[in-house]
Structure 1
Amino acid sequence: GLISSNMAAVSLPLAALLPLLCGVLGFPLGQETGPTSCHATKPNLLNVHLVPHTHDDVGWLKTVDQYYYGDRNDIQHAGVQYILDSVVDQLLKNPDRRFIYVETAFFYRWWKRQSADVRRTVRRLVDEGRLEFVNGGWCMSDEATTHYSAVIDQMTMGLRFLNDTFGPCGRPRVAWHIDPFGHAREHASMFAQMGYDGFFFGRLDYQDRSRRRIAREQELLWRASDSLTPPMADLFTGILPNGYNPPEGFCWDQSCDDPPIRDDPDLEDYNVDDVVKRFLAIANTQAKVYKTNHIIMTMGSDFQYENANLWYKNLDKLIRYVNGRQANGSRVHALYSTPSCYLQELHRANLTWALKTDDFFPYADDAHDLWTGYFTSRPALKRYERISNGNLQTCNQLEVLGGPISRNGPFGKGDSQTMKKAMAVAQHHDAVSGTEKQHVADDYARRLAGGWLRCQVLVSNSLAALSGSTAERIYCDKLNVSVCPLTESSSKFSVNVYNPLARPVSWPVRLPVNGTSYKVSDAEGRSVDCQVCVCVCVCCPLLKTVCLCVLVLQFLRVTFDPDTGLLSGLSNLETKQTIKLTQNFYWYNASDGNNSKSDQPSGAYIFRPNSSTPFVISRTAKTETVQTSVLQEVRQWFSPWVSQVVRLHGDSRALELEWTVGPLPIDDDLGKEVITRLDSSIQTAEYFYTDSNGREILQRKKDFRPTWILRQSEPVAGNYYPINSRAFIKDEVDQLTVVTDRSQGGSSIQNGSLEIMLHRRLLYDDVRGVAEPLNETSALFPEGLVVRGRLLLSLDRPPTAADAHRPLAQQAVLQPTLDSSGRWSPCLQFSGLQAALPPAVHLLTLTQWDEDSVLLRLEHQFQSRESKENSRPVTVNLQKLFSTLEILGASELNLSANQWKDEMKRFHWTPQTGM
């Protein structure tokens, strides 16, 4: 192993993500050379970089398998295996040709099925730069509804395969998110820390694009963190001119209708002159809105190049005939290119670039077409993905702590790879986003379930090795509906709780039981407070029955209006804060498209209420109160399809709101978009705050964009933002934070108010390609999907609020894993750490890398100036970190673990003066 005493202590700068390989290291070295296979450009001409590409969704209208094999072409004609077959064949016919490929999930599957001869050929194409990988993650992830930890995992999986298979020549230098529906600042920060030189995407708000075209700011420098010292999180960003499609009239795929280049002058329909004339006009027009004498054109689209000969034969001709006009004075030079070759030319231009520090949300492609509905679409799938992320981290950690026996032990063969691949696919921008067809959503959920089953075997093996007990372990996977057959049928059972966080947490364990009285003891036999919940008081405000509902435990006091049964106030007993706080449920009627302003309906992507004022579901709630020394609850019923439990645990500093919504009634033939709204006495002045992919916090303001003067046309949807883990409102005295259990959309439409969208059921397709209304049903819920979730509320002083809500958000993401056994046995207390990590440090990744090494990521989780105590650099001693692992050495890598950190060199870009 690598033994070096000075590697034992690692210093974490603010908001840093630090991955380390510990043990015996054999990772191939990266080479920091620019692309040497780029075609020559002409400095005095307009160089048009033609980039042949295909955009292959890892599931959307068809499942991943159906897309790969070309199955169900009645839904969509697409077969990825044939695309790769055809492209490789065509690249060999002309060494000038280039192609880029993005989705490693598909390429990995194709590669496994190739002969040794084909593999050698493809390696040669990669080495020569004729086939270039861009982005390189397992998928092209969504940016609004993904948690940063899951994004890092899926990027690492894809990039590791490319690195192991092709070496330095296979390492992508450019991030490529041409289809996601808005772009998160944290994604740009992660890409920068992964070593990318630049980032290209296709979608941004139509108003933003218009302004940028006029100002020639479609290429910019994105400063993606206010904590990391520039240029650590600086990323050059380019906006593609045609989304990711070719210019109009220049699509030569079998799915296109544009005429081919007919270059026989003896034929009546000879069209070379017309084609060249149109191309030159498009190129010169495009050049007017970009800063250099280099422009890029994406020559491809969704699942194109299945018959690559069609594209390449016409592109060969286009390049030849366009460049032939230079002899007659044309100033345009066309060439086969790649994003990295194009980026290299922009870097050589040595210009200054406009600086951006916010994000690209929300995205609108027209005045009434806000892509903010998918922030909440398919809320059950979003929750399942979040739970699966936590399960995967538990699986990864126990695979390391339990050793080799965890993969092949008393309970059989287990593995973490199945879950890693399922989670990686789920990050796709038509997966967790909720913008796929129903049968595809079902397939994503099936893959996650299959991955967890394999992980459960691994976890059981690991726990058996750590505890010495081979008792059968049962996992209660349906606790969200209060179902666990073992605990409901056993009078005596044991429960193991594994905490994947690197610090102690207090976590209430709730299990369905069949008795009325239980005795609970801990690992040392000491009695643990418990309570079998029974109803002790029923209040019926609808009948004007008076009931004083007040919940008071150690840290919080919660009051309810005795006439309505609604929440009315919240107090923090530690800080002596009290605010007025009401909470209720509402719905927006979804637009059906029959509107004088626009024919755009709400759908899986688009949120478009037909009124800015939501309908209240009920102004009162029937209530039932449970009050014990362990917990206190107020159970509220607002309607047959909306209920909630307001819950306060004895040692919790957060108020829990467990909501249940559905099935949403559609008898009125209108879709419904259900929200919960918190109205407080906090003076917000139209400002509110949301997280970026669960990490750094961004300030928002109603009807405002930092980058341009907004013309607001949708006063509700135009103010919605993605909330991945938390949002808050504050003034100088109070801060109210809401921690979510999944990605959801939300906003502050009124001062002092914070609303979260919980559920959507829509009856019309929003004409963005999915061709299916978001009207979820299932065998269990034929009348419509019922969704249950949880919000956590905390009230703190603004200067110290982050110290409370950041750990709370991490705890919501990485919940303890439970397993139970019908055979009671003495329990074992075990910790994989010698001591808890400092409050500012989060254990992001602990996973097996190979037989002799593990990948460790430690994260400084606080932003600059966010906390007086915790927004400081922290030193962690690795030698004193783990209780069971002997660290022989450690070496630092970049964030995606495909380059040594000290060898990672990126292009330097200069922001405009004064920025």
Structure 2
Amino acid sequence: MAAVSLPLAALLPLLCGVLGFPLGQETGPTSCHATKPNLLNVHLVPHTHDDVGWLKTVDQYYYGDRNDIQHAGVQYILDSVVDQLLKNPDRRFIYVETAFFYRWWKRQSADVRRTVRRLVDEGRLEFVNGGWCMSDEATTHYSAVIDQMTMGLRFLNDTFGPCGRPRVAWHIDPFGHAREHASMFAQMGYDGFFFGRLDYQDRSRRRIAREQELLWRASDSLTPPMADLFTGILPNGYNPPEGFCWDQSCDDPPIRDDPDLEDYNVDDVVKRFLAIANTQAKVYKTNHIIMTMGSDFQYENANLWYKNLDKLIRYVNGRQANGSRVHALYSTPSCYLQELHRANLTWALKTDDFFPYADDAHDLWTGYFTSRPALKRYERISNGNLQTCNQLEVLGGPISRNGPFGKGDSQTMKKAMAVAQHHDAVSGTEKQHVADDYARRLAGGWLRCQVLVSNSLAALSGSTAERIYCDKLNVSVCPLTESSSKFSVNVYNPLARPVSWPVRLPVNGTSYKVSDAEGRSVDCQVVPLSAATRAVRRNRGFAVNELVFQARAPPLGFTTYSVSLLRDGPPAASTRRRTPTAIQNKFLRVTFDPDTGLLSGLSNLETKQTIKLTQNFYWYNASDGNNSKSDQPSGAYIFRPNSSTPFVISRTAKTETVQTSVLQEVRQWFSPWVSQVVRLHGDSRALELEWTVGPLPIDDDLGKEVITRLDSSIQTAEYFYTDSNGREILQRKKDFRPTWILRQSEPVAGNYYPINSRAFIKDEVDQLTVVTDRSQGGSSIQNGSLEIMLHRRLLYDDVRGVAEPLNETSALFPEGLVVRGRLLLSLDRPPTAADAHRPLAQQAVLQPTLTFTDGDGRWSPCLQFSGLQAALPPAVHLLTLTQWDEDSVLLRLEHQFQSRESKENSRPVTVNLQKLFSTLEILGASELNLSANQWKDEMKRFHWTPQTDEKPLLKRSGDPSSWEVTLRPMEIRTFLLRVDLR
């Protein structure tokens, strides 16, 4: 294919200089200090861990505001470190969070920038990880992680060139580690990965076996070593060894090295250091060990650290003359990794993940999989909004950013979403005022994107009519549709395949006519608004009914529907106060127990499958810390029920039924604070469960953790399956870990795993899949069951630093937060289930964007548009389409099936880049790595040898022709396209 030729300093294959970081694999960083082959080399890594929001907002952390909450000011850390690095060329420092560094850099003078560039070129200041933040690994979706990593790494590339490119991934604080993250890091070109937290039992075993450094094979589908990642577990989390913290926040004594003074302590310090180093060396494989010298928001006064580290290195190495076998040096993770690579050893192989994480027998960090469910949902919606914004910025051209509706931009939303991926953001483990700040940033980003989307749709449709956005449709609030007798609905589909999507609009009329873009009448129905929706919307709307119809939108495009009130039309559908025996469409049949009002069975009419299936809501009482086994309470991080048996909220449900040709609903009430709609649309292959939970009662002074549980006739044999960050599926087994023998002490919390987009149970005949609309925790505690945690309200802090209970309220819900969400259920044969649940999960993540205009909109020149010449094959997902600069765009194409997962869709697929888009002419294309900070053919990584008898692997064959791109199962390919609007 024709290569892109662009003046991007970030991507030029240049060397950093004699003291910098060559791009070649063999030499590695030449700025590393010399080590001694016959001694124990202790790599001291000065670092700071700067949370992009946690106890304080990201702004408060940067400026050093609200020090009454936590003394921390990132701008002062960077000021101080740069100053101290200049005083001694031996010193080193690593920095991680680009969100903070970007802010600091913008405010520096030209002289300071030149100085920092020199420090980076010389390897004295090294960037590691390099994403906008250090993302959470349990509750993040892979698409959002890739986006935030790309943003941070692009800034480093544009600012520092190849010398600023991180070689090491660094996740020292996230609370468990996902296999998909390791796979992504490998595909981004990292040579290795270091983290600090893993289960205490796993760590104990690895210490004995000397397997704290390993090779992580992070994909069952990608050909090794494409997703292989060397992984190191740090010895002290990310803190310094005990007694060796010399920050202003620490209490350890400084090195007092004046022998004339009474409190001289050099001998004691050196003796303690040598003892710690030799003890640590016994649990690692080589004569190189690493020590993290820093912690949370340290180095605000870097002189304290560096003055003592200078002395420590001098006095420890001075003992070599007396026979000491320990050599201490300033180092970085890249330098340390280089030495491990030079050792040329074989390494233990790992193929599962590091979930769940526990730091003690009763301290399982599995509560945050669900904590702050409303924020988790808002983050997921915002991800879809951002992809729509990115796509329409490309498809609409320059007018999208500056058009009839003003100046719009996607950057505000990109930064807000990037910050939201932080491991104390979407995870739900921050203080309440910080969670509010994350939500505020997302809302501000979407407002700027709405201007861009309006401009783009105006350019593509030829209509400059004002577009209205209704952001509260989930609670049936939209002022335009509630009051207008004639309006149009524009449905934009961000997926590269056509979709059928149920539209539900709040209205006050009883009969409407809906016409599609061709002027054809669309089957629609008006149904009465449920009492649950009226209760949860409070005073935010006044609609009494909902208009429901099925919209069909073209791939990567929009269609327009015209809606008109009929004065003499048929009445709205009515509700019946009885439980039906069944509801069904041409694909599914759902049965109910008439005595209890609960689900009783599910049938797939196409495959002639039927299973027994009951569903109900339960809660676990949260431990308050007062029992004989442990004083650990449930909190934002930790899930610890005080009993293994949950309490059923109600054994029966009051019901009312709506049955029409468009949809069928069974509305269930379990209690004043739990309700649900079981919904089956006319042409849907999935059953929708729309749940509303809250406010959780706390009159009994006990926190509650609410779940829904599906109990089926499927014979699971204690196995169940969850996704990893929305991509590959991992097998789970109750009370079992694949690489170590588990001593289970928390039979519920110890079996919870993150569910980012879907989970399923299966046997040889049936597979029941549940697609979620946000990240949630879940498990299979009983054979044939699948439970998902929906909401948490807790009255105690779990003593992990956040220092407040997870007890969410708001101005609208002062009595406690109410949360609404939906689960999608599908029943299929195991060999073909992925053909249904993978597209269903993608559609749940990338939902259509609805915009409204007053009037019928029939005069618009273009009522329907697709940005593609043809829909992509079912196996191919258009992951990224975003503007890169004025005449180039970034494109990612993804094979969304695992190998052997589908008979039809697990095959390689070839796509022609020049035949993709309808509005863009592709003039040139070059392939990049996953994070778009290296040309693919220049990406070189260290090769690591696993402890297996593997045969040499064949290299990937080339593409069929210059413009045709072949995708193999689970492969993501990234391209920089030079384009021209047609």
Bin the TM-score by the shorter chain: over 0.9
Cα distance in 2, alignment partners of residues 51 and 216 from structure 1? 21
Any idea what SS the aligned residue of 2:19 has?
A: coil
Deviation (angstroms), 1:106:
0.1
Alpha-carbon spacing, 1:680–1:432, altered in 2? closer, same or farther (3 Å):
same
Structure 2, gaps ≥5 residues long: 528-564, 569-585, 949-982
User: Which of 600, 605, 614 is the matching residue for 1:568?
Assistant: 600
Task: Show CA shifts across 1:30-85 (max 9, x none).
Answer: 99861110000000000000000000000000000000000000000000000000
Cα distance in 2, alignment partners of residues 544 and 363 from structure 1? 61
Cα distance in 1, alignment partners of residues 905 and 605 from structure 2? 23
Cα distance in 2, alignment partners of residues 194 and 11 from structure 1? 21
Checking the alignment, whether the CA contact within 8 Å between 1:14 and 1:864 is kept in structure 2 is no
Cα distance in 2, alignment partners of residues 897 and 21 from structure 1? 18
Any idea what SS the aligned residue of 2:877 has?
A: strand
Any idea what SS the aligned residue of 1:126 has?
A: helix
Alpha-carbon spacing, 1:821–1:431, altered in 2? closer, same or farther (3 Å):
farther
Checking the alignment, whether the CA contact within 8 Å between 1:494 and 1:824 is kept in structure 2 is no
Cα distance in 2, alignment partners of residues 852 and 505 from structure 1? 30
Deviation (angstroms), 1:879:
1.0
Alpha-carbon spacing, 1:826–1:659, altered in 2? closer, same or farther (3 Å):
farther
Alpha-carbon spacing, 1:480–1:632, altered in 2? closer, same or farther (3 Å):
same
User: Which of 630, 637, 646 is the matching residue for 1:614?
Assistant: 646
Checking the alignment, whether the CA contact within 8 Å between 1:15 and 1:864 is kept in structure 2 is no
TM-score of the aligned structures, taking structure 1 as reference length: 0.94
Task: Show CA shifts across 1:715-739 (max 9, x none).
Answer: 0000000000000000000000000
Cα distance in 1, alignment partners of residues 509 and 826 from structure 2? 34
Alpha-carbon spacing, 1:544–1:478, altered in 2? closer, same or farther (3 Å):
closer
Deviation (angstroms), 1:17:
19
Checking the alignment, whether the CA contact within 8 Å between 1:624 and 1:635 is kept in structure 2 is yes
Any idea what SS the aligned residue of 1:19 has?
A: coil
Deviation (angstroms), 1:481:
1.4
Checking the alignment, whether the CA contact within 8 Å between 2:215 and 2:944 is kept in structure 1 is yes
Any idea what SS the aligned residue of 1:647 has?
A: strand
Deviation (angstroms), 1:825:
5.1
Alpha-carbon spacing, 1:27–1:396, altered in 2? closer, same or farther (3 Å):
farther
Checking the alignment, whether the CA contact within 8 Å between 2:726 and 2:758 is kept in structure 1 is yes
TM-score of the aligned structures, taking structure 2 as reference length: 0.88
- Counterpart for residue 770 of structure 2: 738
Checking the alignment, whether the CA contact within 8 Å between 2:761 and 2:769 is kept in structure 1 is yes
Alpha-carbon spacing, 1:749–1:397, altered in 2? closer, same or farther (3 Å):
same
Task: Show CA shifts across 1:632-681 (max 9, x none).
Answer: 00000000000000000011000000000000000000000000000000
Checking the alignment, whether the CA contact within 8 Å between 1:19 and 1:894 is kept in structure 2 is no
Deviation (angstroms), 1:544:
40
Any idea what SS the aligned residue of 2:822 has?
A: strand
Cα distance in 1, alignment partners of residues 98 and 633 from structure 2? 35
Checking the alignment, whether the CA contact within 8 Å between 1:23 and 1:852 is kept in structure 2 is no
Identity of aligned residues (%): 99
Cα distance in 2, alignment partners of residues 821 and 84 from structure 1? 57
Deviation (angstroms), 1:849:
0.2
Alpha-carbon spacing, 1:26–1:236, altered in 2? closer, same or farther (3 Å):
closer
Any idea what SS the aligned residue of 2:215 has?
A: strand
Deviation (angstroms), 1:820:
9.4
Checking the alignment, whether the CA contact within 8 Å between 2:55 and 2:69 is kept in structure 1 is yes
Deviation (angstroms), 1:884:
0.6
Alpha-carbon spacing, 1:821–1:245, altered in 2? closer, same or farther (3 Å):
farther
Cα distance in 1, alignment partners of residues 841 and 454 from structure 2? 27
Cα distance in 1, alignment partners of residues 836 and 608 from structure 2? 16
Any idea what SS the aligned residue of 2:297 has?
A: coil
Structure 1, gaps ≥5 residues long: 1-6, 534-541, 546-553
Deviation (angstroms), 1:496:
0.2
Deviation (angstroms), 1:889:
1.1
Task: Show CA shifts across 1:596-619 (max 9, x none).
Answer: 000000000000000000000000
Cα distance in 1, alignment partners of residues 356 and 652 from structure 2? 34
Cα distance in 2, alignment partners of residues 543 and 402 from structure 1? 35
Deviation (angstroms), 1:480:
1.5
Checking the alignment, whether the CA contact within 8 Å between 2:20 and 2:163 is kept in structure 1 is no
Alpha-carbon spacing, 1:823–1:877, altered in 2? closer, same or farther (3 Å):
closer
Cα distance in 2, alignment partners of residues 33 and 849 from structure 1? 32
Any idea what SS the aligned residue of 2:66 has?
A: coil
Alpha-carbon spacing, 1:186–1:16, altered in 2? closer, same or farther (3 Å):
farther
Cα distance in 2, alignment partners of residues 160 and 808 from structure 1? 32
Alpha-carbon spacing, 1:337–1:190, altered in 2? closer, same or farther (3 Å):
same
Alpha-carbon spacing, 1:96–1:310, altered in 2? closer, same or farther (3 Å):
same
Checking the alignment, whether the CA contact within 8 Å between 2:460 and 2:862 is kept in structure 1 is no
Any idea what SS the aligned residue of 1:322 has?
A: helix
Cα distance in 1, alignment partners of residues 376 and 233 from structure 2? 29
Deviation (angstroms), 1:828:
1.1
Task: Show CA shifts across 1:236-277 (max 9, x none).
Answer: 000000000000000000000000000000100000000000
Cα distance in 2, alignment partners of residues 657 and 789 from structure 1? 8
Any idea what SS the aligned residue of 1:532 has?
A: strand
Cα distance in 1, alignment partners of residues 12 and 217 from structure 2? 19
Alignment of 1:835-850 (within 5 A): 835-850=870-885
Checking the alignment, whether the CA contact within 8 Å between 2:722 and 2:729 is kept in structure 1 is yes
Task: Show CA shifts across 1:207-232 (max 9, x none).
Answer: 00000000000000000000000000
Alpha-carbon spacing, 1:161–1:28, altered in 2? closer, same or farther (3 Å):
farther
Cα distance in 2, alignment partners of residues 740 and 886 from structure 1? 37
Checking the alignment, whether the CA contact within 8 Å between 1:621 and 1:636 is kept in structure 2 is yes
Checking the alignment, whether the CA contact within 8 Å between 1:739 and 1:792 is kept in structure 2 is yes
Checking the alignment, whether the CA contact within 8 Å between 1:99 and 1:338 is kept in structure 2 is yes
Checking the alignment, whether the CA contact within 8 Å between 1:62 and 1:437 is kept in structure 2 is yes
Deviation (angstroms), 1:22:
27
Task: Show CA shifts across 1:559-581 (max 9, x none).
Answer: 00000000000000000000000
Checking the alignment, whether the CA contact within 8 Å between 1:352 and 1:912 is kept in structure 2 is yes
Alpha-carbon spacing, 1:706–1:10, altered in 2? closer, same or farther (3 Å):
farther
Cα distance in 1, alignment partners of residues 512 and 5 from structure 2? 48
Deviation (angstroms), 1:20:
21
Alpha-carbon spacing, 1:370–1:488, altered in 2? closer, same or farther (3 Å):
same
Alpha-carbon spacing, 1:405–1:638, altered in 2? closer, same or farther (3 Å):
same
Checking the alignment, whether the CA contact within 8 Å between 1:62 and 1:75 is kept in structure 2 is yes
Alpha-carbon spacing, 1:24–1:40, altered in 2? closer, same or farther (3 Å):
closer
Deviation (angstroms), 1:822:
8.4
Alpha-carbon spacing, 1:24–1:305, altered in 2? closer, same or farther (3 Å):
closer
Alpha-carbon spacing, 1:448–1:823, altered in 2? closer, same or farther (3 Å):
farther
Task: Show CA shifts across 1:107-166 (max 9, x none).
Answer: 000000000000000000000000000000000000000000000000000000000000
Q: Name which of structure 1's ranges 475-484 and 282-291 shifts more when overlaid on structure 2.
A: 475-484
Checking the alignment, whether the CA contact within 8 Å between 1:765 and 1:771 is kept in structure 2 is yes
